[in-house]
Structure 1
Amino acid sequence: MANLRKAMLQENIFTPKGEKLVHVLLTQLSEENEDYCLCLTVTKDEEVQITFLKILPSGIKEKYMIQEVWLLEDLTMVDGRDATADNPFLDLHFQTVCSLEASSTAAKYAFVRSLRKMNKIYLQKDIQFLNFDSDFIQEMSFFGLPEDTMMVIQLCVQAFNCFCLLHSL
């Protein structure tokens, strides 16, 4: 479903504007119970934008309404709220703070890795990333493996180490 949504967003929202969709995060505002998408795009002028779209249920086909568009260069801080807990909450600090709830903690970390990567490629700006487990927001793609696969491998190794430690006691 995520790939289908990304393809539909690219075709219907971003291609007409000459933008390339890099990442989509399904989210909710912390105070509401409606679905939104946070989209990371690159314009034809190589500006990185974060577009906040509201998902409007409309029968079989979803419709989207642009709520807000920010430039990555205006982002000063990303706060994961608590690095020690499994939580999907995220605060994006522009001139105002946008508080979101991602569909999962893994989705939140994948989005943050995409933000960091786009910043590294296009801006090299000093954006603060607070309250994240640094092991999971670092680039992990060695040997040509996708970052999510590397994260699963890393979690498995950590679980295996815990298992071995428990059996050695």
Structure 2
Amino acid sequence: MSSLVKEDLNKKLFKSLGQSLCEFIEVECSGQDRFYLCVSVTKAEEVQISMVKHFRTGLDENYEISEKWFLDDLEMIDGKEPDSDNPWFDMHFKKVYSWEAYSCASKYAFARTINKLNERYLQKDLKIVNFDFTYINDEALWSSSNGDCVVLMKICFYASNLLCLSLCPLPG
């Protein structure tokens, strides 16, 4: 489902602005509207973070950028409590913005993308605090989608071996 939303966001909003959507997460806001926090890269290779409002007009899905910032202006991402399954985080620009992600996993995916884009385009000293860095750093197995697949394959391989062994008759 999220890949369909990402494709729709990219097609209807970011491509028309000459940008490429890298990551988005749904964030909780008051009211009935749905909001996404998005990270995109412009043709000039500037990284933007946008608050996008999702709304429907009849049967059409529409998106509108309600606020945007540049990654260069981001001073810090604070994950609040690294030792708990907590979807809350703060982003420090000139003003501090507090967000509640849809899940703790999406909060980490967003921070991971910000970190990766910072390393690729800016190489600035971005403070990322109160996160478990095993899941933030690019060197970590979990940081790439391929890493998740490798771990899952190993678990499945191990489970299938156990199943085969349990079905085999014992010698003797």
What TM-score range do you get, normalising by the shorter chain? 0.7 to 0.9
Distance 2:151 2:27 in 1: 22
Partner of 2:21 in structure 1? 21
Partner of 2:130 in structure 1? 131
Partner of 1:167 in structure 2? none
Partner of 2:170 in structure 1? none
Which structure has the greater CA radius of gyration? 2
| Identity percentage of aligned residues | 39
The residue identity in structure 1 corresponding to 2:77 is V
Superimposed CA distance per residue, residues 54-77 of structure 1 (whole angstroms, 9 cap, x where no aligned partner): 122434432222111100000000
Partner of 2:165 in structure 1? none
The residue identity in structure 2 corresponding to 1:116 is N
Residues 1:54 and 2:53 aligned together: yes
1:37, CA displacement in angstroms?
A: 0.6
Distance 2:151 2:61 in 1: 31
Unaligned runs of 5+ in 2: 156-172
Unaligned runs of 5+ in 1: 157-169
Residues 7-46 of structure 1 mapped to structure 2, 5 A cutoff: 7-29=7-29, 34-46=33-45
Superimposed CA distance per residue, residues 92-149 of structure 1 (whole angstroms, 9 cap, x where no aligned partner): 110111111111000110111000000000000111111111111111466xx62661
CA contact (8 A) 2:28 2:35 kept: yes
TM-score scaled by structure 1?
0.81
